[in-house]
Amino acid sequence: MALINMPDFAGELLADFAERKTARVDTPVIQPAEPFLDMAGEDLRRRIFLTESETGASLCLRPEFTIPVCLRHIETATGTPKRYSYLGEVFRQRREGGNEFYQAGIEDLGDRNVASADARAISDAVEILDRQLRGERFSVTLGDQAVFEAVVQALGLPGGWQKRLIHAFGNIEQLETLLEKLARPQPVAGLAPEVRALIASGDEGALIAHIDATMQATGYSSNASRSPAEIARRLKEKLALAETRLDDGAFLVLKEFLSLSVPLSEASGALAGFADAAGLKLGAALSQFDSRVAALRNAGLDIAGITYRAAFGRPLDYYTGLVFEVAVEGSSAVLAGGGRFDRLMTLLGATEHIPAVGFALWLDRIEAARADAAVRQGKSKA
């Protein structure tokens, strides 16, 4: 039984979803925890309500809908393209406004026209909010993880550092910390001189033998979760990452990129100018970005009223391209947010690549925004 009341406008949302030719899907409140722990991101992982089944399997209260909807699609072997909608409770610890709240949204699976599907997701989110909050003006913020990944790759950083930076995308404080470490690397502490010497020698066999002997001598090997070979590989990677230094020019290029914040109508030109000045080839990422801008313009959205921020991301690890959020102008409360997650379906077990994009609506925040709007309208009439 629900612990909180369904918002009064929930029926209107479901009717709106039906008009957009989506299939309503429901998923169990109790979910397998592993997909969320592996793919949802650190911010969400910290706030999941975990439990166990009678057999010891790790379970959780549903913290969001994207992963369950995708799993449901895979399990039912439904063909694509397919548009799903959902509305139900989700559960997150330490959330402002309550640990249990209603979320609704649309997941768009299998549309190969990526730019068109991206534009539809943003357009649908704005139009649905506009129906619920007549007369309000909205601010839309857009980012693109694929463009950031292209910049990082074009700079030629080691793969380990690329993964770290890409993983931190959207968390500007974490990104700044990583950039400082890259610009001013610190030596690895606590590494025994003989181990450091073996890594420097490049004799992997001797390194593995030394680690194995140490494990045997300390009794650690009997219950070790990692083999000597895996530990050796991780030590070599850790040392290589710690000794990597980002030169001043590349450091400034990344800082300049992350500082970009322009109306979307100017973003294509700003990105092309940045790439030319930095001598970076961003190729397909910029082409896809330009196609999305054109699709948004064709959908009738005011792209001059959308802000592109190069450093903007959302705290979920499965995003691969577009990310966006919508709020009432002048408010920090995010009413809708979403993005593209093209790798998620395969990671969850799909046997073929399925492009995917979607967005979620936070119903408690929409309800609060409706109440605020009603108060303002009442005062204006008085």
Cβ 118 vs Cβ 321: under 8 Å: yes
The pLDDT value given to residue 236: 66
Binding-site residue numbers for L-histidine are: 64-66, 92, 103, 107, 314, 318-319
pLDDT given at position 162: 84
pLDDT at 40: 82
Tokens representing residue 208 in the block: 């593995």
User: 25, 1 in Cβ contact below 8 A?
Assistant: no
At a CB cut-off of 8 Å and minimum separation 6, what does 281 contact?
A: 154, 275
d(CA 289, CA 114): 10
| Gap between the Cα atoms of 153 and 258, Å rounded | 15
Q: For the chain, list the domains and their CATH numbers.
A: 10-137+329-381 (3.30.930.10), 146-174+247-313 (no CATH), 193-243 (no CATH)
Q: 184 phi and psi, to 5 degrees?
A: -135, 75
Binding-site residues sit at 64-66, 92, 103, 107, 314, 318-319
Q: Is the pTM of this model over 0.75?
A: yes
Distance CA 218, CA 211 (A): 11
- Mention every residue, 6+ apart, whose C-beta is less than 8 A from residue 217: none
One digit per residue, pLDDT tens: the chain, 382 residues? 445 788 999 999 999 999 999 999 999 999 999 999 988 877 788 899 999 999 989 999 999 999 999 999 999 988 889 999 999 999 998 787 788 999 999 999 999 999 999 999 999 999 999 999 998 999 999 999 999 999 999 988 878 788 888 888 888 888 888 888 777 766 656 667 777 777 778 778 887 888 888 887 776 655 556 788 888 777 766 666 666 667 788 888 999 999 999 999 999 999 999 999 999 999 999 999 999 999 999 999 999 999 999 999 987 889 999 999 999 999 999 999 999 999 999 999 999 999 999 999 999 999 999 998 888 777 665 5
Here the contacts of 219-225 (C-beta below 8 Å, separation 24 or greater) are: none
pLDDT of residue 1: 40
CA distance 233 to 208: 9
